[in-house]
Chain A
Amino acid sequence: MEKIDVHTGRAVPLRASNVDTDQIIPAVYLKRVSRTGFEDGLFAEWRQDEDFVLNRPEYSGASVLVAGPDFGTGSSREHAVWALKDYGFRAVLSSRFADIFRGNSLKGGLLTVLLPQEVIERLWETVEADPTTEVTVDLVNREVRAPGVRESFELDDYTRWRLMEGLDDIALTLRHTEEIGAFEQNRRSWLPVTL
């Protein structure tokens, strides 16, 4: 996985709450068996509307999504993370994320940053006033910076370390194969097996 430290890019203000994963990528795009190329599915329905914020030329090439509360609710589809990344987003800022989406994003190298709603609103205003505004998401110092905004955010040390090192979770767990084996020796004998 790609290492993450500091990202600076232009931002898109997505003024909507409860953006569910069916909106981020509709189910019809989930039939593929590949892991890349999901950018065409990102907000596929909303992008039919030419006024949708992602269609506006001033936001083209932006890499930071500033979203309303409860972003990523609904289905567990990791395709939502892949679609955002494939489209070019490196970070999503919101005052509240759905659990599974947040977990998927931090596994998949898309930085999801929790900020107070009041800061999100200020970022919306700043970016709308000047779409060329650059927003910096600094994982090293756990801080978001933009003109008039300097806000630290919380992220546990372990996740931060894993993202900064670009480490694969599975490889980390496989270091503990012996402990897994030992645990298996002590499982209850009547637990069900499928084979």
Chain B
Amino acid sequence: MARTMAEKVWEEHVVRRADGEPDLLYIDLHLVHEVTSPQAFEGLRLAGRSVRRPDLTIATEDHNVPTQNLLAPIADPVSRKQVETLRKNCSDFGVRLHPMGDIEQGVVHVVGPQLGLTQPGMTIVCGDSHTSTHGAFGALAFGIGTSQVEHVLATQTLPLAPFKTMAVTVNGQLKPGVSAKDIILAVIAKIGTGGGQGYVIEYRGEAIESLSMEARMTVCNMSIEAGARAGMIAPDQTTFDYIRGRAHAPKGEDFDAAVEHWKSLRTDEGAVFDAEVVLDADELSPFVTWGTNPGQGVPLDASVPDPASFEDPSARAAAEKALAYMDLAPGTPMREVRVDTVFLGSCTNGRIEDLRAAAEIMRGRKVAEGVRMLVVPGSMRVKEQANEEGLGRVFEEAGAEWREAGCSMCLGMNPDQLKPGERSASTSNRNFEGRQGRGGRTHLVSPQVAAATAVRGTLSSPADLVSL
């Protein structure tokens, strides 16, 4: 029978199947960070259990870490204790850790792919919902809670109920200035924050195939914002070329054997998805959010919607509440919305291509008066590469702050936060109330829009900039 890619990867990992029980799935790679793991390690200790496969486990420090003055101790004692706890746990249980200051340290979902640990056909989990990022390689990758983190540490497996499958097909080609971020924001606006609930989404179509690996990661990253557990993209030559030569990539004949296998993972001709959604890339333009969930977005050319225009009473109420929080009046053109802060970074848009795209726009220009721009690379490796390419200097000369790697203002667990009432254009993934700091207001945007917005001070696309 014809099968989807998600079904093939699932089947390959079934350790045990019994009537009336969830399948027990083997996990190929477990990514760990400081926030969702301490209680899991403590659970192991209390039960006298060990980590079954430390060699399939890797940890990094990302959510809490400061992005400046790395040599000083972490000022917040609670954050410091959490990071120290991770260090002790990794040392006690024999787990490889990339701590602050290490060249491989960074946002967990940037680190895995950059090391070549993320490969097609694998099952990958992490106590973080944006684990869906790794699906860009054709891996089945999803976020788990702390109980499941403990379960994977102890058994390297998870009992899981089956997912449904959804195909999101993006036909055509993106216009210049339109990016992967705009694709996924448009998908979420179309199907809603619950539209993917219970599904693994497979993104396909010409526009998806044309994306680079890093752009594909941006798309898969935000699958969770549509409610989906995971997002996947079929591995192809772009994927193989990206993996080849990385530290943990298969070598020599092994690489050829791996590619042979990876090619077999594609969804079979005639396989049936439980749901299908189609978008036309030619019709997409830069997208921005106006509300307090990622589904509340419109093209940058549009205006803040009128809650009265929503037919569904619950959507109308949500829109009213969101506009009150965001302090926006219906009918205001999105381009007239002024920001205080621009955040470029996160597991959604903190990779080298994102920095290149933004630097291209900022080169020779200045961050607008009264605007603060934070550029936070996804990993120290990304930072190093950006510096080699001269991107760091571009940001600094423009007046942006060029920081160290971490999750930073995406969720404000470190000192990088919005103040109450401040408004940001952010390349991260969530515009929830207070997410970037108490009382902060977030507009989700692409790196290109973030850069143009930094220069103009209002939500802008690169096309709005006067040519140099």
Contacts and interface: CB of A to CB of B under 8 A. Distances in A.
B57 interface: yes
Given A22-B435, A192-B29, A176 B128 contact: no
Contacts of A23: 432-434
A173 B82 contact: no
Interface residues of A, number: 59
A45 B434 contact: yes
A179 to B, nearest CB: 5
B321 A16 contact: yes
Interface stretch (A2-10, A125-133, A141-149, A183-191): A183-191
B54 A45 contact: no
Nearest to B194: A70
B156 interface: yes
Interface string A80-105: 01000000000000001011100110
A191 B28 contact: yes
B275 interface: no
B154 A69 contact: no
Contacts of A75: 128-129, 411, 430
A188 B434 contact: no
A180 B15 contact: yes
A91 to B, nearest CB: 18
B38 A73 contact: no
Contacts of A189: 254
Contacts of A27: 63, 411-413, 435
B15 A69 contact: no
A81 B145 contact: yes
Contact of A193 (B38, B55, B317): B55
B79 to A, nearest CB: 5
A76 B197 contact: no
B257 interface: yes
A10 to B, nearest CB: 24
B26 A33 contact: no
B355 interface: no
B143 to A, nearest CB: 4
A183 B433 CA distance: 45
Interface string A31-57: 111110000000001000000000000
Interface string B33-54: 0011011001100010100101
B257 A170 contact: no
Contacts of B434: 22-23, 26, 45
B47 A170 contact: yes
B21 A77 contact: no
A68 B314 contact: yes
Interface string A109-138: 000000000000000000000000000000
Contacts of A69: 194, 314
Contact of B24 (A33, A35, A78, A173): A173
A73 B435 CA distance: 13
Most chain A beta-carbon contacts within 10 A, residue among B143, B147, B148, B161? B147
A190 B250 contact: yes
Given A18-B293, A99-B227, A195 B54 contact: yes
Contacts of A190: 250, 254-255, 257-258
Contacts of B144: 76, 100, 103
A117 to B, nearest CB: 8
Contact of A31 (B78, B197, B250, B321): B78
B58 A194 contact: yes
A33 to B, nearest CB: 4
Contacts of B54: 194-195
Most chain A beta-carbon contacts within 10 A, residue among B81, B129, B229, B293? B129
A45 B96 CA distance: 37
B147 A169 contact: yes
Contact of A78 (B36, B119, B249, B315): B36
Nearest to B89: A33
Nearest to B94: A195
B254 A78 contact: no
A33 B38 contact: yes
B376 interface: no
A157 B21 CA distance: 8
Contact of B57 (A68, A77, A98, A194): A194
B198 interface: yes
A30 interface: yes
A31 B79 contact: yes
B197 A96 contact: yes
B56 interface: yes
B85 interface: yes
Contact of B55 (A17, A170, A194): A194
B102 interface: no
Interface string B143-159: 11111101100111101
A81 B20 CA distance: 26
A194 B197 contact: no
Given A96-B197, A98-B197, A195-B54, 18 more contacts: A16-B318, A20-B430, A23-B434, A30-B35, A35-B42, A74-B224, A77-B145, A78-B127, A81-B145, A99-B197, A100-B145, A169-B151, A169-B159, A170-B154, A180-B15, A190-B255, A191-B119, A193-B55
Interface of B: 15-16, 20-22, 24, 26, 28-29, 35-36, 38-39, 42-43, 47, 49, 52, 54-58, 63-64, 76, 78-79, 81-82, 85, 94, 96, 116-117, 119, 122, 127-129, 142-148, 150-151, 154-157, 159, 161, 193-194, 197-198, 224, 227, 229, 248-250, 254-255, 257-258, 261, 293, 314-315, 317-318, 321, 411-413, 430, 432-435, 438
Closest 5 pairs (CB-CB, A-B)? A104-B145, A78-B145, A33-B38, A76-B143, A190-B254
22 contacts: A18-B318, A20-B432, A22-B434, A23-B432, A30-B63, A30-B413, A33-B42, A34-B39, A74-B224, A76-B128, A76-B145, A77-B145, A78-B146, A98-B197, A100-B142, A108-B145, A158-B21, A180-B26, A180-B155, A180-B156, A194-B29, A194-B117
